[in-house]
Structure 1
Amino acid sequence: MAAAATIVFVPCWASGHFMSMIAAGKRMVDASGGALSLTVLVMQAPTPAKASEVEGHVRRESAASAGLIDVRFQSLPAVEPPTGCVAPEEFNFRYVQFHAPHVEEAIAGLALPVAAVVVDLFCMQLLDVAGQLAVPRHVYFASTGAFLALMLRLPAIRDDLAVRLRDADAEGTFHVPGLPPVPLAYMPACLSNGGKMRNYEWFEYYGRRLMDASGIILNSSVQLERGVLAAIADGRCVPGRPAPAVHAIGPVVWFSPAHRELEPPHVCVRWLDTQPSGSVVFLCFGSNGFLDEAQVGEAAAGLERSGHRFLWVLRGPPAAGSRDPSPTDADLDAALPAGFQARTQARGLVWPAWAPQKEILAHPAVGGFVTHCGWNSTLESLWFGVPMVPWPLYGEQHLNAFELVREMGVAVQLKGVVGASKVDLWFVEAAELEAAVRGVMGATEEGRKAREKAADLKAACRKAVAEGGSSYVALRKLVRGISPGGGAPSP
């Protein structure tokens, strides 16, 4: 049947945000039973490399959706990047703000009625456009419930947290509603921006704007973050004001093994096909993650001494002089210690470029994951039941790492970083990585418990999104609330 209305999504250009948001939108359309379609307004990314990534995502998603689900992508006119910005979030904020007139014009020109506008966490200034058009406005939050709880608190705790994060020698803990006391070393690195605090005001702004949303669509579930979701719902994050409804519909993991039949398996997957079940530790640090020369040397030594099989996705630093923070393909001969590849070739593969992470984590040969703790990567690991070693690098990843170890119990901690007083000082020595790899692969009681808990959460994640599960029910409640006439099927 023809859709009666459309939901408009405005995603950020970062791959982890863009793809997660599109997958969530598709779920909403599917849950509407044909009452809704999805219109995606695509901003041109501020760098050529990111723009190329987004174009590739749009092509693949358009092809995958053809004839199956009603999704339309509409490119917005290009804008000039802002100049003179002193913090990354200031640049992102102003660049998105420049798109506001184009977003308003695109929405006003749509043929179908607009049931709701959904903007990315980093596009919340566009909530004003939806308000001017008298359209319900939602935020898609591609991170954790814990980070959501913290962001809701930021305006009220500025005088305390901002001062403590500015102090390079600050120690102690901080309270995030719904979590045990969090050491300051686990506070999100994106707030302090290397101790300069230039980003804090922008995240504080986003924390305020969350309260203006009709609802928050969260890529998490009750099974993963019961405590923080209860804290938000109970009003413990913004005392005296009810927070918007949080729709925990996750995990949103966009993966289908069917695509293996459409193209030859990646070289990393072919290598895994030759390895015993559960024998390989996988190392990957996300779309923006890379290690410097000294850290690569320590990691290589730790892997070699661990004695375990490994698949290491090793990226190089961003191109010199480029505004694009994306890693480059690594020169393995220059990056790795002399003789490392020859000594480990019988049990290890180092891959210098992009690799299909979800397909790798789904492979039965993979038994552990050394990860930067990006939330998409974390959910993928949980979805496939792979225990983790958290090695956070940037963003909110340090807080994610705290949850993995303290709340979920699915990870083996890198011992040497526990006492770090500041998140930008986390340097991992070879012995630390060696011990963590051995642990996550089952050599310690901590590792065995993490493996068991990962298997439990794999089942819980799949149950949450299956018919009758908490995320299934939340998704349908969300869609009923925005569908014309409340026409979504009942759970």
Structure 2
Amino acid sequence: MATTPTVVLLPVWGVGHLMSMLEAGKRLLAHSGRALSLTVLVIQPPTEQHASDLAAHVRREEASGLDVRFIHLPPVAPPTDFQGPEDFVSRFVQMHAAYVKAAIAALTSPVTSLVVDFFCTTIVDVARELAIPAYIYFTSNVAMLALFLRLPALHDEVPVEFEEMEGHVDVPGLPPVPPTCLPDPVMDKTSPNYTWFVYHGRRFPEFDGIIVNTVAELEQSVLAAIAVGKCTRGGDRGPPPPVVYPIGPVIPFIDATPEQQQQEPHECVRWLDAQPPGSVVFLCFGSGGCFEAQQAHEIAHGLERSGHRFLWVLRGPPAPGQRVPSDANFDELLPEGFLERTKDRGLVWPTRAPQKEILAHAAVGGFVTHCGWNSTLEALWHGVPMAPWPLYAEQHLNAFLLVAYLGVAVAMTFDRKRKNFVEAAELERAVKAMMGGESEEGRKARDKAAEMKAACRNAVEGGSSRAALQRLSEELQRGAVVVDVQK
């Protein structure tokens, strides 16, 4: 009979959520000195591509030799009448509640806690029924967490759509937030996606704590605002705010394993080896980022006119019946003659690329990014300044954070009503500002990025993030209970 107390993780299947939570769990495992184990409850993904990616991740973790075991929950028919990704994920997770309860109740190890992705707040009821502590793992930043906590009150305070309101949105700890910088799911109050965001924000304070993939030094004023109750309904007169544990940056596989070091370098990395230090602007837009020909042409013209070296990961729209971007067809997406004219200073890569290795390379001097939080943390870890080009989800708020709060990015203008369209001239300006030696805006972004690199590494190597992980580990080890299977 297993006796090592276990932390139960309930991730969602998206790679940006799944891998971050698993990596956080493994850090907790290592930090506890084998006083804890991990049990991961696996929701069967709704698509074949997600299922294939998940299976590969599980096989890799099972082969690692760590005290991590995976329990696959029974398959559930996904909802078909959903109106957006937030609506789909929240409802699909909710449909697994009985299976989550049964899986936890069947464990023979003492259970210290249930840690769930922030889309899984409905599962807090299962934890309460089983009398075990419940925590959220928040894959984004504290700014986004503050907005979630603030949203139930904002819903009542702002009776119109946010983009119709006068002035700015008040998120304590942040500069005034323009309504156009709010995440996609809150831009339409009639949408079930918005309703779910309000619901999740209302339930967050019911958890015993919130584990956040950020560094305290990056977002001190927002953390302080949450701690004194400014972000939760009722303010400092309401219920106590949730305890926040900033343990980031949690970046999967940030350091190459011995096996990876022995592998032949990727073609993109070999190309970078031939470029001068700090000379290349890197463009990459995440696992879901892709462009139609009109936008790809604008990018190409902007890069060509900028005069700077570039490494551009270009993906095309999903194939019929698919949800993930397709490999780029250069004949369809690029202007005639572009590759020939730029062959001496640019590389366009048509499929997935090793982003972490690229950002770590000395030749990279700037990053045009969709502002996914994992990508942002990778850039901060390596001290690379950014030009934000948000595409979906919470990325618009992340872009605001990078420019107006952290100061590590050069602002770039995009047309949100035209699917975040960016003109060639604007991309050219942003690249020149970020990469050029005479730009004051670029110099400040580079200096701040270097400061954030030091802050991130200090936090993990013995500073604030390590201390937060220590507090969390001690808290979980105190809370281990044997689940009563009769509940």
- Give the TM-score normalised by structure 1: 0.92
**1:337 alignment counterpart:** 335
Once residues 374 and 264 of structure 2 are traced to their aligned partners in structure 1, the CA distance between those partners, rounded to angstroms, is 25
Letter in structure 1 aligned against 2:18: F
Once residues 479 and 319 of structure 2 are traced to their aligned partners in structure 1, the CA distance between those partners, rounded to angstroms, is 52
Once residues 107 and 271 of structure 1 are traced to their aligned partners in structure 2, the CA distance between those partners, rounded to angstroms, is 49
Look up the SS of the partner of 1:35 in the other structure: coil
Once residues 394 and 307 of structure 1 are traced to their aligned partners in structure 2, the CA distance between those partners, rounded to angstroms, is 29
**1:257 alignment counterpart:** 256
Alignment of 1:107-118 (within 5 A): 107-118=104-115
Decide whether the 8 Å contact of 2:391 with 2:419 is kept in 1: no
Look up the SS of the partner of 2:120 in the other structure: helix
Look up the SS of the partner of 2:264 in the other structure: coil
**2:82 alignment counterpart:** 85
Once residues 393 and 320 of structure 2 are traced to their aligned partners in structure 1, the CA distance between those partners, rounded to angstroms, is 22
**1:287 alignment counterpart:** 287
Letter in structure 2 aligned against 1:253: I
Once residues 144 and 247 of structure 1 are traced to their aligned partners in structure 2, the CA distance between those partners, rounded to angstroms, is 12
Decide whether the 8 Å contact of 2:161 with 2:187 is kept in 1: no
Quote how far apart the aligned CAs of 1:321 are.
Answer: 3.5
Does 2:185 match 1:190?
Answer: yes
Once residues 473 and 342 of structure 2 are traced to their aligned partners in structure 1, the CA distance between those partners, rounded to angstroms, is 52
Alignment of 1:187-336 (within 5 A): 187-192=182-187, 197-238=191-232, 239=235, 240-254=238-252, 255-258=254-257, 259-322=259-322, 324=323, 326-336=324-334
Quote how far apart the aligned CAs of 1:196 are.
Answer: 5.4
- Give the TM-score normalised by structure 2: 0.93
Once residues 9 and 365 of structure 2 are traced to their aligned partners in structure 1, the CA distance between those partners, rounded to angstroms, is 36
Does 2:461 match 1:466?
Answer: yes
Once residues 3 and 57 of structure 2 are traced to their aligned partners in structure 1, the CA distance between those partners, rounded to angstroms, is 24
**Alignment counterpart, residue 428 of structure 2, candidates 424, 434, 440:** 434
- Report the more deviating stretch, 148-157 or 78-87: 78-87
Decide whether the 8 Å contact of 1:11 with 1:120 is kept in 2: yes
Decide whether the 8 Å contact of 1:166 with 1:196 is kept in 2: no
Once residues 59 and 277 of structure 1 are traced to their aligned partners in structure 2, the CA distance between those partners, rounded to angstroms, is 37
Decide whether the 8 Å contact of 2:293 with 2:332 is kept in 1: no
Quote how far apart the aligned CAs of 1:166 are.
Answer: 6.0
**1:446 alignment counterpart:** 441
Once residues 318 and 354 of structure 2 are traced to their aligned partners in structure 1, the CA distance between those partners, rounded to angstroms, is 20
Once residues 31 and 336 of structure 2 are traced to their aligned partners in structure 1, the CA distance between those partners, rounded to angstroms, is 54
Query: 5+ unaligned residues in a row in structure 1: which ranges?
Result: 487-491
Decide whether the 8 Å contact of 1:192 with 1:198 is kept in 2: no
Once residues 161 and 317 of structure 1 are traced to their aligned partners in structure 2, the CA distance between those partners, rounded to angstroms, is 36
Quote how far apart the aligned CAs of 1:334 are.
Answer: 1.0
Look up the SS of the partner of 1:9 in the other structure: strand
Give the share of equivalent positions with the same residue, in percent.
Answer: 57
**1:62 alignment counterpart:** 62
Once residues 135 and 98 of structure 2 are traced to their aligned partners in structure 1, the CA distance between those partners, rounded to angstroms, is 19
Alignment of 1:285-434 (within 5 A): 285-322=285-322, 324=323, 326-414=324-412, 416-417=413-414, 426-434=420-428
Post-superposition Cα deviations, 1:156-177, rounded to whole Å, max 9, x if no partner, equal: 111344623364xx56321111
- Report the more deviating stretch, 331-340 or 136-145: 331-340
| Distance verdict in 2 for CA 1:339–1:25, change over 3 Å | same
Post-superposition Cα deviations, 1:441-464, rounded to whole Å, max 9, x if no partner, equal: 133111111111111110010001
**1:173 alignment counterpart:** 168
Once residues 162 and 83 of structure 1 are traced to their aligned partners in structure 2, the CA distance between those partners, rounded to angstroms, is 30
> How many aligned residue pairs are there?
472
Post-superposition Cα deviations, 1:104-130, rounded to whole Å, max 9, x if no partner, equal: 111111121111110001111112111
Quote how far apart the aligned CAs of 1:485 are.
Answer: 7.5
Post-superposition Cα deviations, 1:407-455, rounded to whole Å, max 9, x if no partner, equal: 11110111x34xx6x5666321111101111111133111111111111
**1:489 alignment counterpart:** none
Quote how far apart the aligned CAs of 1:202 are.
Answer: 0.6
Quote how far apart the aligned CAs of 1:293 are.
Answer: 2.1
Look up the SS of the partner of 1:119 in the other structure: strand
Letter in structure 2 aligned against 1:333: D
| Distance verdict in 2 for CA 1:60–1:265, change over 3 Å | farther
Once residues 158 and 422 of structure 2 are traced to their aligned partners in structure 1, the CA distance between those partners, rounded to angstroms, is 26
Once residues 74 and 480 of structure 1 are traced to their aligned partners in structure 2, the CA distance between those partners, rounded to angstroms, is 25
Decide whether the 8 Å contact of 1:186 with 1:423 is kept in 2: no
**1:32 alignment counterpart:** 32
Decide whether the 8 Å contact of 2:286 with 2:370 is kept in 1: yes
Once residues 480 and 369 of structure 1 are traced to their aligned partners in structure 2, the CA distance between those partners, rounded to angstroms, is 38
Quote how far apart the aligned CAs of 1:266 are.
Answer: 1.6
Post-superposition Cα deviations, 1:183-223, rounded to whole Å, max 9, x if no partner, equal: 11111112225x85331101001101101111000001211
Quote how far apart the aligned CAs of 1:257 are.
Answer: 2.2
Letter in structure 2 aligned against 1:26: K
Letter in structure 2 aligned against 1:141: F
Once residues 95 and 56 of structure 2 are traced to their aligned partners in structure 1, the CA distance between those partners, rounded to angstroms, is 24
**1:155 alignment counterpart:** 152
**1:23 alignment counterpart:** 23
Once residues 3 and 351 of structure 1 are traced to their aligned partners in structure 2, the CA distance between those partners, rounded to angstroms, is 49
| Distance verdict in 2 for CA 1:109–1:198, change over 3 Å | closer
Decide whether the 8 Å contact of 1:3 with 1:36 is kept in 2: no
Decide whether the 8 Å contact of 1:251 with 1:465 is kept in 2: yes
Look up the SS of the partner of 1:451 in the other structure: helix
Query: 5+ unaligned residues in a row in structure 2: which ranges?
Result: 481-487
Once residues 399 and 80 of structure 1 are traced to their aligned partners in structure 2, the CA distance between those partners, rounded to angstroms, is 33
Quote how far apart the aligned CAs of 1:300 are.
Answer: 0.7
**2:483 alignment counterpart:** none
Quote how far apart the aligned CAs of 1:100 are.
Answer: 1.5
**Alignment counterpart, residue 479 of structure 1, candidates 452, 473, 486:** 473
